[in-house]
Each structure stands twice: as C-alpha cells, then as structure tokens.
C-alpha cells in the first residue's frame, strides 16, 4: 500500500530546533548528525480526539534510545511536550494525525563521525501530519520474507529506535519488488523477528505467540496487546518461532503505531487459514479500540 499525497499537509508547520516553520522551510543543516550518519532517534505517535496515544511510553523509549547513543543536552520531557502541543495548535490538529518525533545528535562543527564534533546539543523535530492508519485493517496485508536479517544486539541493538533504518528499508524494497505490502524479517538464527515496520503475533490453538524481542523493536503497541491478552485471559507465549509456525498459524497479525492492528492474510504465498472456530484477532482488536481513550494524553 503506497501512501497517497494529502493536500491537507501542503501548508503544515513543523517544529525544528525550537522554531515553528512552514514545511517548505523545515530543514536541518547539512552538518546535522541525521544527515551525516543517520545519527538520530525517533518515535511515531498517533493523535486521537482524546489526545496523544501512549505519549509517556513513547517519550520513555526516546530517552532510552538517546541515552544508549550517549546524546548530550537532551531536551526534557516537559519541553518536548510543549513543542508537540505548539505544533498541534499551530496546525489546528486535534485528531486523525500522526507525529514523527525526531531527536538528532545535532549539528557538527565539521563533517565527521565523531560525536565530540557535536557541540550544540540535540535538535528536536516535531512533524505532525494528517494521516490515517496506513494499512488495510479489514482486508489485511500480504507479506514476503526478506533475505535481509533484522539486527540482533551483536550488530546494532534493535532496542535503540534509531534513524539508521537501512536494514528495514532494504527489506521493504524486497517487498515492493515482490508486489507485497511488507517484508517479514528473520533474526540471525532464522527465527521470525518482525515485519520491516511492525511487530508480529500469531494464534495457534487459541494460544497467542509473539517472537522474543531480542531482534525486533519492543513496540509500544506490542506491549499493549500483551497487556490486553492478560486482561482477556488469553494464554500468551514469547518464543522463538519459525516461518513454518507462522505459515500454519490460525491467525497472524501485525502491530504498530502506523497501522494499529492489522491482519496478515498471506506469507510467502501461503494463505493464513483459520482452522479454529475462534476469531481471536477480533477480540483483541475490539478491546484495543475500546481502550484507546484511556491511554491518551491531552496536551
Ligand atoms: C521496526 C519497527 N517495528 C515495530 C514498530 C512498532 O512499534 P510501536 O508499536 O511502538 O509503534 C516500529 C515503529 O516504529 C518499527 O519501526
């Protein structure tokens, strides 16, 4: 599914390094670390009419990522919330929006890899756009397995939500070439890790399974689905899962801020056939939709 141009976003204002500017002028320096080395961290957030969904959980992850990368002069929680509030107010955005929140290591005094060249502190970007969830959550998505493996901690820890996204972008290109919606990525041992931009779950015999989070982003939506499963008394197991287990699962679905909860209907040409009489995905999905307001924060 290719996202379409939305003319409502043509005149949005973006918060860049403390200033609100029209999108045409929303730029970072060529000396910025994000340009030089993808040296930045980010979060995707959704805005519902009740407020920003799981805002503090996203900010916790942003701070964790920035700490792991040893960023300096990181803006505090209240100043980030203020920048988000100002951006939404300027654009009259109250719901149906997505925010791409980026924190770069900032500008360097000269080009180079060394973080000691960063002497101006971090650069915060709040990009809010009118955007509905990107996947077809009724019809579902079809995926293929990529030959690109998802980073495990010995290469680059997937728990850092960084902007060095080439690992996932290469996988997505393979899905595009194959005419599918997303790429399924394996870990370094050949077990299923996640899709290129969302986490994966499967049901087999009414038990919910998801891969260990050693080589995938521990998604905030993934965490909520696990909490919902506990609440609904659905047995849940985190385990190493092979492609065969996914091919023969009763139900498979993906989770993430960009698409919420999305059924996966085909993997590598194998249709996901529900042999159980249960519609477990629907139970989890309807509970997820119900609890959204309780997890929203109005700024
Ligand atoms: C690689 C990857 N996996 C999973 C997710 C889903 O995470 P979340 O539920 O926190 O949006 C994302 C979101 O950015 C991602 O980039």
For 23-34, what is each residue's pLDDT tens digit? Answer: 999 999 999 999
Q: Which atom of ligand 1 is nearest to the CA of 42?
A: 14
* Residue 263: HSE in the Cβ half-sphere, 13 Å Cα cutoff: 20
pLDDT above 80: residue 12? yes
Task: Report how far ligand 1's centroid is from the alpha carbon of 103 (Å).
Answer: 16
Spatial separation of the C-alpha atoms in residues 95 and 236, rounded to whole Å: 32
What tokens does 52 get? 């920003």
Query: Once rounded to an integer, what is the mean pLDDT over residues 265-285?
Result: 94
Q: Are the folds of 10-130 and 141-292 the same? A: no
- Residues contacting 131, CB < 8 A, separation 6+: 3, 6, 9, 96, 97, 98
Q: Which of 22-31, 131-140, 233-242, 272-281 is least confident?
A: 131-140
| pTM of the predicted structure, to 2 decimals | 0.96
Q: What is the pLDDT of residue 133?
A: 87
**Is residue 65 within 6 Å of ligand 1 at its C-beta?**
no
| 141-292 CATH | 3.20.10.10
Query: For 167-231, where are the E strands, in sequence order?
Result: 182-186, 192-195, 199-204, 207-210
Residue for token pair 């924190």? 103
Q: How confident is the model at residue 137 (pLDDT cuts 50, 70, 90)?
A: confident
Q: Which of 21-30, 131-140, 183-192 is least confident?
A: 131-140
**Is residue 75 within 6 Å of ligand 1 at its C-beta?**
no
Q: How confident is the model at residue 254 (pLDDT cuts 50, 70, 90)?
A: very high
What's the CA angle centered on 17, arms 16 and 23, to 5 degrees?
A: 15
- Residues contacting 35, CB < 8 A, separation 6+: 28, 29
Q: What is the pLDDT of residue 97?
A: 97
Phi, psi of 279 (to 5 degrees): -115, 75
Q: What is the pLDDT of residue 92?
A: 98
What tokens does 237 get? 């197991």
pLDDT above 90: residue 117? yes
Q: What is the pLDDT of residue 276?
A: 87
- Determine which residue's CA is closest to atom 7 belonging to ligand 1: 219
Q: What is the pLDDT of residue 138?
A: 82
**Is residue 51 within 6 Å of ligand 1 at its C-beta?**
no
Nearest to 83 by CA among 120, 48, 124: 124
Task: Report how far ligand 1's centroid is from the alpha carbon of 44 (Å).
Answer: 8
All structural domains of the chain with their residue ranges: 10-130, 141-292
Spatial separation of the C-alpha atoms in residues 236 and 12, rounded to whole Å: 42
Assign a CATH topology to domain 10-130.
Answer: D-amino Acid Aminotransferase; Chain A, domain 1 (3.30.470)
pLDDT above 80: residue 1? no
- Residues contacting 216, CB < 8 A, separation 6+: 150, 158, 185, 187, 193, 194, 199, 200
> For residues 288 and 53, is the Cβ–Cβ distance under 8 A?
no
Query: Based on the number of CB atoms within 10 Å of its own CB, is 82 exposed (0-12), middle (13-18) or buried (19 or more)?
Result: middle
Give the gyration radius of the chain's Cα atoms: 19
Q: What is the pLDDT of residue 135?
A: 84
**Is residue 102 within 6 Å of ligand 1 at its C-beta?**
no
pLDDT above 90: residue 2? no
Query: Once rounded to an integer, what is the mean pLDDT over residues 83-95?
Result: 98
């Amino acid at each position: 599914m290719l996202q379409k141009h939305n003319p409502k976003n043509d005149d949005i204002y973006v918060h860049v390094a403390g200033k609100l500017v029209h999108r045409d002028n929303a730029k970072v320096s060529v000396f910025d670390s994000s340009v030089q080395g993808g040296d930045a961290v980010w979060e995707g957030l959704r805005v519902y009419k009740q407020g920003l969904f799981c805002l503090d959980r996203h900010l916790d992850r942003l701070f964790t990522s920035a700490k792991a990368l040893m960023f300096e002069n990181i803006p505090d929680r209240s100043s980030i919330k203020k920048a988000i509030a100002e951006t939404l107010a300027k654009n009259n955005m109250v719901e149906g929006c997505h925010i791409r929140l980026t924190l770069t290591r900032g500008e360097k005094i000269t080009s180079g890899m060394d973080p000691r060249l960063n002497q101006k502190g971090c650069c915060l970007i709040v990009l809010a756009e009118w955007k509905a969830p990107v996947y077809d959550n009724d019809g579902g998505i079809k995926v293929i397995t990529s030959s690109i493996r998802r980073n495990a901690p010995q290469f680059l820890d997937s728990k850092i939500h960084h902007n060095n996204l080439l690992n996932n972008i290469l996988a997505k290109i393979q899905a595009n070439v194959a005419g599918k919606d997303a790429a399924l990525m394996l870990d370094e041992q050949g077990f299923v890790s996640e899709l290129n931009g969302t986490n994966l779950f499967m049901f087999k015999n009414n038990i919910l399974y998801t891969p260990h989070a050693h080589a995938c982003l521990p998604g905030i939506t993934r965490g909520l689905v696990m909490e919902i499963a506990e609440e609904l008394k659905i047995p849940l197991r985190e385990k190493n899962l092979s492609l065969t287990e996914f091919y023969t699962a009763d139900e498979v679905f993906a989770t993430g801020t960009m698409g919420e909860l999305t059924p996966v209907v085909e993997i590598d040409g194998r249709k996901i056939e529900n042999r159980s009489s249960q519609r477990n995905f629907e139970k989890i999905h309807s509970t997820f939709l119900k609890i959204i307001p309780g997890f929203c924060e109005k700024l």
